[in-house]
Amino acid sequence: MLRILLVVLIAFIATPATSGEQEALNEAKTLLEQGYPDRAIKQLDGFLASNPEHAEARFLKGLILVNQDQLEAAIKIFEALTKDYPELPEPYNNLAVSYSALGRFDDARKALQSAITTHPSYATAHENLGNIYAMMAADAYNHALSLDKENAAARDKLALMSELFSVGTINNASHQSATAASTPATEAQPAPAAQAAAPAIEEEDSELAMLMEDDSDGTEGLSELEQGILSTAHQWAQTWSSKDVAGYLSHYHATFKPSRGLSRAAWEQQRKQRIAKPRFIEIEVLDPEITVISEDEARVEFLQTYRSNTYSDESRKYLRMKRDGNDWKIVREVSLQ
């Protein structure tokens, strides 16, 4: 699949953090996790004012800037990191992500080749290099069709790539390249180009992964009641992954009470903001264990994996569910670790 990945964070041996520094960095990461990238950047700017060469803080700021479509600013950070730490492949990888989001595929190719030179076993860079070549090929096929609309061979090849990858991604990538070629450097417009940035591509991967999982949904041997409960958990995760806020919230019962003393209205507003912030979200429900309490109540415990373009983690979670007509709704949601 066509995937351009953002490396979430790396440990820079060159700049080990003291306890005070680590606390400041952790606060920035927490703000980012909570959906406040602007506040996270302010935290990092304050930290970098007294630690201007701190690599991890610079790297994290670059990631946030990519997420905010401030691609030129992100490129400056990652370019500087590649010069300061040429032995590390991750800054080259993220530099390539930023270049590709602007349609600068040849620059992205060079950055990934540098990453592979410094770290030949870095699988992400090898995969991303293949993706860049695919984008460049799509761009060439589109250009051929613009010159000769009757070019059946180019049309067939582009159609094949559209089936293998994402139609929107390939077409957007080609459009960006054409726009970049016709726009003077002094008039660069990063925001529109960012529409085809890496995380948008990841959504296609997430959707395909879910479709593939549907072929074997783990319901073998479960009762009809248990199948309905498990299906609800997977649907809940799918609406979250697809950033369908209305669908996501519809899985919660009218009696659902948020944790941490939040009101239902405040909780819903918080969830809307956190779902809207990332460019892509991918949620997986793994190893579910269902406990039927009664015909109308049950709980499902599982390993939840969360991945977005800015953050990733995994945790044990349980959902307590209650029957609501023909559906199951969540009345309690608890993270176990």
* CB-based contact 198:100 (threshold 8 Å): yes
Asked if residue 165 belongs to a domain, the reply is: yes
- Residue ranges making up the domain that contains 327: 216-335
Asked if residue 73 belongs to a domain, the reply is: yes
Asked if residue 203 belongs to a domain, the reply is: no
d(CA 289, CA 229): 11
Q: What is the CATH number of the domain that holds 229?
A: 3.10.450.50
- Looking at 161, 193, 225, the residue that finishes a domain is 193
329 has which bridge partners?
322
> Does one domain contain both 28 and 171?
yes
pTM of the predicted model as reported, rounded to 2 decimal places: 0.47
> Does one domain contain both 185 and 256?
no
Q: Which two tokens stand for residue 36?
A: 């406040």
d(CA 81, CA 83): 5
Q: Which residues, at least 6 apart from 221, have a Cβ–Cβ distance to it below 8 Å?
A: none
First to last CA, the chain: 32
> Does one domain contain both 230 and 181?
no
> Does one domain contain both 68 and 160?
yes
Asked if residue 198 belongs to a domain, the reply is: no
> Does one domain contain both 3 and 59?
yes
Asked if residue 115 belongs to a domain, the reply is: yes
Using DSSP's 3-state secondary structure scheme, residue 17 falls into coil
292 has which bridge partners?
298
> Does one domain contain both 292 and 173?
no
Q: Which two tokens stand for residue 163?
A: 């089936």
d(CA 34, CA 282): 16
Per-residue pLDDT of the chain (337 residues; tens, 9 = 90+): 333 344 444 444 444 556 677 788 888 888 887 888 889 999 999 999 988 888 888 988 998 888 777 889 999 999 999 998 888 888 888 888 888 878 888 898 899 889 888 888 778 778 878 877 877 777 777 778 778 877 777 676 666 655 554 433 333 333 343 333 333 333 333 222 222 233 333 333 444 344 334 444 555 678 888 899 999 999 999 999 999 999 999 999 999 988 766 788 889 998 998 899 888 899 999 999 999 988 899 999 999 999 888 778 888 888 999 999 999 999 988 877 5
d(CA 165, CA 201): 9
User: Which residues of the chain form beta strands (DSSP E)?
Assistant: 281-292, 297-308, 312-324, 327-335
